[in-house]
A and B are shown apart, each in its own frame.
Chain A
Amino acid sequence: MKWRRFRQRQRQDGELTREIESYLAHEIDDNLLRGMDSDEARHAARRRLGNATSVKEAVYEMNSFNPIETLWRDVAHGLRQLRRNPGFACAGILIMALGIAATTVIFSIAYGVLLRDLPYDEPGRLVALGSSLRESGLQRAYAGAADYFDWRGRQQVFEDLALTRPVANYNLTGIGEPERLQGARATASLFSTLRATPLMGRTYTEEEQLDPGTASSVAILSYGLWQRRFGGDPAIIGRKILLNGQPHEVLGVMPPGFQYPAREFELWTPLYIPPPALKDRLDYSYLSVARLKSGVTLDQARAHMTVLAANLAREYPATNKGARVIVGAMLSETTGSVRRALWVLLAAVGILFLAGCVNLANLLLARAANRSKEFSIRASLGATRARLARQFFAEAIPLAAAGALLGILTAHWLLKLLIPLLPASMPRTGEIGLDGPVLLVSVMLSAAAAFFVALAPAAQVRGNVERGPASSGRVRDLLIVTEIACTVLLLVTAGLLMRSFSHLRSTDPGFRPAQVLSLHLAVNRTKHGDDPGVARYLTQLIERVRAVPGVEFAGIVNRLPLGGQTQAGVIRFEGRDTPANADWRTVSPDYFRAMGIPLRAGRAFSENDCADRPGAGIIDERLAGEAFGRESPIGKRFRMDFSGAPWVEIVGVVGHLRDEGLDKDPRPQVYWPYQQRTQDRMAMVVRTSADSASLTAAVRAAIREIDPEQPLYDVLPMTDVLERTLHGHWLNTVLMGAFSGMALLLASVGLYGVISYLTAQRRREFGVRVAVGAQTTDVVVLVLKQGLGLAAGGLALGLALSAALTRGLGAMLHGVSPFDLRTYVSVGVLLTIVVSAASFIPAWRASRVDPTVALRQE
């Protein structure tokens, strides 16, 4: 009905005109009958009718889709206004685009990493289980194998649970280039717990897992591995592939999306744990995942597992006393390490966006004041106050829309740039993308911004009439103070992160990384046999590499410092009760010299510390101080904390290392000689006389000479390894620096705009002042005072906010307090300089005003 009328408005309009004419004709007829002359009759009829145009308008509007049509007309008007003022339009769109781009980028990362569902069926019911062993100082360990089997046998809250050994190295040989594959050994229940079904073939059964024979001869491939190494061979199921030199039958291929525990895992094999290994209950090197029964909450599961742990503690007091079970939602356990950093960045970008909006609001406000004439004309022509106020929303909408579009496009491009830069330690980077939910949030943010930005000037239009123009000045001041406060908060945060980063950069890792090449290799036990065989092979490798020209020292260690892999355990010193939790390391004699770890006392290992000689051990200076104080530890004995472990004699004390990162220092180190405690996954470190990277090829070739099938991985200069650990801090610092820089730019532009506007308004006043003898400096000081007054308010508020909020940075700060005075003072000085510059330009301009011109202006 209405739609039809809407389309026929033209005709309807004509009809109404005829109808009104008909009325007038009848009224004139009547009036003539009443004896009026024709002129009088016509005038009286018109008076009787009232305002014909407003009648027509009322009917016309009735035939319109009112809100939409008015809005469209307002928006069209807004567009015209913007086109007339392209500088303003560009500034507005850029500010908006900047805010939206930054927010979208960070939100899409945070959403992908922190919020997006894990790629499993009903992921909300998946929990991660771990053990906390307070007795031996392991705060948050992985799950223990023996504990797992007890949990699985006794628990009633989970549908099922699984155990995974996340580090399994498989050297794939027999087809082309040998390659070390990252695999995981897992219980058969892993697939049912995650509800993952293979794309092809099948997964292994519990019987196959528990049988040592089949457990070491079957494998499941990831989709990526199947495609990459086997060309997507459709006949892969049942095919035998060589892993660590042993034939493994491919049972199945997982679908493309499947990953566990992380994306880089390409292979799953049955986890067989020989029953004797479960006896000592000390092997805490597993991941455990469980699926809650439907209707069971996380808290219920926690309570249940606490009771279970208490029972186990009673049954096995030697190992389980004080042990607790940690039950956490799998998503938060997966993302634990980066969560705070991402939330902080998200908050920062939100503040930046807010600052941008405030800036834009201020621009609109200043413009509104300039356009007061336009508004009074429109008001006198009959535009309602609401209509005028709406005009600002109508102008903000195209700005926000264009800004959002540009911002989202920029974000798309920035994300492509940024994702490869994300630290390797960040989980789930594959989940990051600009899709539905992220876009929705961006668009909603833009809409909210458009509304917010138009609010202040719209309110001013109302205020102008009702409260006088004074209120607008207060709103403007409030906005600029808010913006400066936001900027200060961001600057302080960035400053603190920079201080923290430079502290980390100057932190001594305990070794000398320059001119050291590191590489990883996993020794194939099938080929090289038992411990003596592996040790012999390693000796060969070390000697061959040392013979490479340019190599000064070559050594091996089972876990590279800062390499991201932990191996820690408890040791006991002979005759002392307190156990010590330490990094367990197996090294070759030259390792300390190759890595540049200083020898503090005694001697390093030698090739004579072999299997048939008395056990030798080395501890670091921290442990020596903790355990022996000023007494010399040389000649004392220690052993791993389980019965039957051999005692070793301390032959030396070396410098302490930061093994897990420059930002933490959890444990001291203990070393065993590689011939007495042989490990088959090793890192080789090579100290060179020249640039370490230049010897990479020669070292590789030397190793291939000994065993052409030996895959090498993570071949990196030690300096790069060090950088890698700082990468996350670096990125946070850079991003925060960028955000605060943008905010500072916006704030200075905003302040500049406001001061310019204010001085323009006071031109006449300045003219009078100059005319009666004011000096240039007087006017400059007058204007500067105004700018600095605003800045001081913003600075004070911003510093107060910083003091209250930067505590949230918590563990992101190293070697610097959230109340670091130097940072606060520096930010204050920086802001004052920038703000002075921003207000000086308009102040200077104001002081140049020619009084005769200024006075004649009005």
Chain B
Amino acid sequence: MARKIRSGNRGDMLLGTLDMLILKTLLPGPAHGHTIAHAIERTSDEVLQVEHGSLYPALHRLEDQGLIASFWGTSENNRKAKYYRMTPGGKKHLMVERSRWQSLVEAVARVLGPVTELRE
């Protein structure tokens, strides 16, 4: 039912990856949209380029699912900003997703393994 999020390079980013990245970013503490966008870009060594606007539908959806919660606050720049924080449910979701991701990566690595060795 929910629309596919318009990410920067539409379709390239695996579905749900953005959600995971957002949750990961909120793990240390609450942050507002701008911070989250830049944090994702930075921590992924600018590999994952996101059109920053696409963050908002995702945030909205996560809030809908009860994985994050929001409040209005004042930012470090002394500006009004909507802050998001992780809920306990969000934390659990992140753990589950992370281990699922891990096993997916391992599985893919096993399949692609020989090719990698050849290149080395």
Contact = CB atoms under 8 A, between A and B. Distances in A.
B100 interface: no
A54 B34 contact: no
Interface in B22-72: 32-35, 37, 51-54, 56-57, 60-61, 64
A78 B3 CA distance: 24
Contacts of A15: 82
B49 to A, nearest CB: 10
Interface string A49-82: 1111011001101100011000000000000000
A58 B57 contact: yes
Contacts, number: 75
A16 B3 contact: no
Interface in A10-34: 15-16, 18-20, 22-23, 25-27, 29
Interface stretch (B73-81, B88-96, B110-118): B73-81
Contacts of A52: 53
A51 B77 contact: no
B79 A55 contact: no
B92 to A, nearest CB: 19
Interface string B100-114: 000000000000000
B6 A26 contact: no
B57 A55 contact: yes
Nearest to B41: A48
A58 B75 CA distance: 26
A630 B5 CA distance: 99
Contacts of A2: 64
A34 to B, nearest CB: 13
A23 B75 CA distance: 11
Interface in A75-125: none
Given A54-B6, A66-B1, A22 B33 contact: yes
A467 interface: no
A26 B54 CA distance: 17
A1 interface: yes
Nearest to A21: B80
Contacts of B77: 25-26, 29
A59 B75 CA distance: 24
A22 B54 contact: no
Nearest to A24: B34
Contacts of A61: 3
A54 B6 CA distance: 9
A5 interface: yes
Given A58-B5, A59-B60, A62-B57, A22 B80 contact: yes
Interface size class, chain A: 20 to 34
A22 B34 contact: yes
A23 B38 CA distance: 11
A20 B82 CA distance: 10
A49 B51 contact: yes
Contacts of B1: 66-67
A572 B72 CA distance: 110
A19 B81 CA distance: 7
Contacts of A67: 1
Contact of B57 (A5, A25, A49, A59): A59
Contacts of A55: 6, 53-54, 56-57
Nearest to B5: A58
Given A61-B3, A66-B1, A22 B32 contact: yes
Nearest to B80: A22
A19 B84 CA distance: 12
B64 to A, nearest CB: 7
**Chain A interface mostly helix, strand, loop or mixed?**
helix
Contacts of B37: 23
A54 B77 CA distance: 27
B52 A19 contact: no
Contacts of A27: 34, 52
Contacts of B33: 19, 22-23
B64 A49 contact: no
B34 to A, nearest CB: 4
A61 B6 CA distance: 13
A20 B2 CA distance: 21
A61 B61 CA distance: 11
A59 B32 contact: no
A1 B53 contact: no
A54 B4 CA distance: 12
B61 A16 contact: no
Nearest to A61: B3
B56 A19 contact: yes
B19 to A, nearest CB: 14
A22 B51 contact: no
B79 A26 contact: yes
B83 to A, nearest CB: 10
Contacts of B35: 26
B34 A62 contact: no
A2 B1 CA distance: 12
Contacts of A18: 80, 82
A67 B2 CA distance: 11
A26 B2 contact: no
Nearest to A33: B77
Given A62-B61, A62-B64, A20 B79 contact: no
Given A49-B52, A50-B53, A23 B60 contact: no
Contact of B52 (A29, A50, A58): A50
Contacts of A22: 32-34, 75, 79-82
Given A22-B80, A26-B77, A5 B64 contact: yes
Contacts of B56: 16, 19-20, 55, 59
Contacts of B5: 58
Nearest to A53: B53
A6 to B, nearest CB: 12
Contacts of A54: 6, 53
B30 to A, nearest CB: 14
A62 B2 contact: yes
A50 B51 contact: yes
A20, A25, A58: most-surrounded residue (chain B CB, <10 A): A58
A22 B55 CA distance: 14
Q: Could you say which of A16, A22, A25, A66 has the most chain B C-beta atoms within 10 Å of its C-beta? A: A22
Contacts of B2: 62
Nearest to B58: A58
Contacts of B32: 22, 26
B86 to A, nearest CB: 18
Interface in A173-198: none
Interface string A682-726: 000000000000000000000000000000000000000000000
Contacts of A29: 77, 79
Nearest to A25: B79
Contacts of A66: 1
Contacts of A62: 2-3, 57, 60-61, 64
A15 B56 CA distance: 12
Contact of A23 (B6, B34, B57): B34
A66 B5 CA distance: 15
Given A20-B56, A49-B53, A58 B80 contact: no
Nearest to A1: B64
A801 to B, nearest CB: 45
A5 B60 CA distance: 11
Contact of B81 (A26, A49, A51, A58): A26
Contacts of B34: 22-23, 26-27
Given A26-B32, A26-B34, A50-B52, 8 more contacts: A19-B56, A25-B79, A26-B81, A27-B34, A55-B57, A58-B57, A62-B3, A67-B1
13 contacts: A20-B56, A22-B32, A22-B34, A23-B34, A23-B52, A26-B77, A27-B34, A29-B79, A54-B53, A55-B6, A58-B3, A59-B60, A62-B3
Interface of A: 1-2, 5, 15-16, 18-20, 22-23, 25-27, 29, 48-52, 54-55, 58-59, 61-62, 66-67
Interface of B: 1-3, 5-6, 8, 32-35, 37, 51-54, 56-57, 60-61, 64, 75, 77, 79-82
Query: 6 tightest A-B contacts by CB?
Result: A50-B51, A50-B53, A26-B34, A58-B57, A55-B53, A49-B53
